[in-house]
Amino acid sequence: MSGFDTRAIHAGQDPNPATGDVVVPLHLATTFKQDGVGGLRGGYEYARSGNPTRAALQELLASLEEGVAGLAFASGLAAEDTLLRTVCEPGSHVVLGGDAYGGTYRLISRVVSRWGVEHTPADLNDPDALRAAIRPGSTRVVWCETPTNPLLNVADIALTAEVAHEAGAILVVDNTFASPYLQRPLTLGADVVVHSTTKYLGGHSDVVGGALVVGDDDLAEQLAYHQNAMGAVSGPLSDWLVVRGIKTLGVRMDRHQDNAGRIAEYLLEHPAVSRVLYPGLPDHPGHDVAAKQMSGFGGMLSFRLAAGEEAALRACERAQLFTLAESLGGVESLIEHPHRMTHASAAGSPLEVPADLVRLSVGIEDVDDLLADLEQALA
């Protein structure tokens, strides 16, 4: 198998045989001419069911995650919804990692629950707690993020997969924070990888998309059926933008995590900061597991303010180079207050995040400029 950066630039992207295009063509057609009834060219008939630009992205995603198939969707939550409705049914049960993205929690607790699917939060760092949360015979999915959003907790993927498989459940890993450049859950025992391709894969804050990558042919076939039947597919322009973004994923991630490491060390010494949450710090409780299953520690970090919520809000509002905005993974640095922004839907639940928490998506700007901005924001 070729190296990661080589696959990022070439997998699913062979030059067009008719024209020699070195960039994947953008196919905007919604329907495709048939050579006689049922005589499909390349298997394409209608763009919801298949599009050549989407096919290129899906092949690329499968290659990067070392899976058998990739599936592209209109958003990360569209991918999650399709997955849950494929593998669950009324009466099914999901174990949800105790620190999960607020949108995932909202989908499972307030949308899928109305369909008769129940869930239990669990600390995935504690195998006994995970086993206690599982309901034999009804738990279909163990849902894991690692590193988590926004508390940067790290779960042992191989161990979690072992416990899930003992119970006959599948392990789903949201790999958005790490990206396949730093972590490949399927190689560690996971069954499905979820991505918001909006984030590091797209990388430029100009596309919304989601993806599933699967390690099993039968499950891939089921998911592909539901992708078409439910129809929450990505559009060709979105597919094209994600393919373009992935070409530079490796070099971007190197810079993201170099900057994040410098910022984490700076915040660790800042008198206004009570705690820094970054897996790259040796005293992070998940540092050893992260070092074992990741090739780097990523560009996301969070920190808590000793003076509480108002100080956190002031820091977010005073930042200038760090843009106050939701989302993450773009080349520009972002700052946000998860309690009131991305994770507001988890308020009052076991997944509620601390009100004094600030989350940073560290971009690829000159790190000295980022440090200066944090200095004035925390003054």
Q: Which residues are known catalytic residues? A: 48, 101, 174, 199
Which sign does the torsion angle of CA 158, 160, 162, 164 carry? negative
Enclosing H/E stretch for 250: helix 249-268
Half-sphere exposure of 20 (CA within 13 A, CB side): 0
Nearest to 309 by CA among 262, 263, 271, 274: 274
Nearest to 196 by CA among 378, 329, 15, 53: 329
How far apart CA 331 and CA 347 sit, in angstroms, is 30
How far apart CA 368 and CA 353 sit, in angstroms, is 29
What are the beta bridge partners of residue 324? 335
Q: What are phi and psi of 86, to 5 degrees?
A: -80, -45
The answer to whether residues 247 and 212 touch, using CB atoms and an 8 Å cutoff, is no
How far apart CA 20 and CA 8 sit, in angstroms, is 19
The answer to whether residues 169 and 119 touch, using CB atoms and an 8 Å cutoff, is no
Strands (E) across 148-260 are located at 170-174, 192-196, 210-214
Tokens of 253: 């991630």
